[in-house]
Amino acid sequence: MTRIKICGLKYFEDAMTAAWEGADFLGFILSAGFGRSVRPEDVLAIRGKVLAGLAGEAKKPKFVGVFVDDSIEYIADLFNKGIIDIAQLHGDETEEYIASLREKIPEDAGIWKVFLVRGAEEIEKARRSPADMVLLDSGIGGTGKTFDWSLLQNMTRPFILAGGLDPVNVGESVARINPWCVDTSSGVEEKDGEKGKKKAEKIVLFIRNVWLNSNLAE
């Protein structure tokens, strides 16, 4: 079954909808200066309320912090304070950076590295990455654009697919590509609405279309 990540969250209500509907990962942009950026203390508060709301449920989502060239110390502090479970590195972080971060975070913490796919070169870099998981995207910050999925024919490790996914096209992506996980942000927002404010109906439809098409994956 393809996993699901709803990213660029800013509000408890949206995070709770995604969690209750079965999203595996909730993503929060913890680098400053982006339209969907949130403060660590807000994520901690949202986390507490979401987990309390899921009390007694067997499945609970992992909390993902999205970072763009932030300091290792900043990210490690968020892990150690129990704010995030996974760090998604969306900048120019090197293999040495990943190794240094790994030394400062809990053993069960996850490190994901994002690659902006322009051609076969990025696919090869993703294949060789020491990160626990790689995410293939078309740009930074919920661009709403897909990349050329035919480039994925040479991808030999599990990956997260992002970039332009919405409730309409996510089913095709799951059936054709069978990614380990799919990731959406702007795809479950109103086209001209506030960045980070999700639409519950779109979250529900996105998740259900992933589930419906997971059994059709090639």
Largest CA distance in the chain: 45
3-state secondary structure of 32: coil
Looking at the chain, the number of H-run helices and the number of E-run strands are 7, 8
181 is catalytic: no
Q: Would you give the distance in Å from CA 53 to the centre of its chain?
A: 21
Contact 140, 90 (CB under 8 A): yes
Contact 172, 151 (CB under 8 A): no
Annotated active-site residue in 137, 166, 181, 183 = 137
| Residue carrying the six token digits 């020491």 | 130
7 is catalytic: yes
Contact 24, 184 (CB under 8 A): no
Give the residue numbers annotated as catalytic, written as ranges: 7, 137
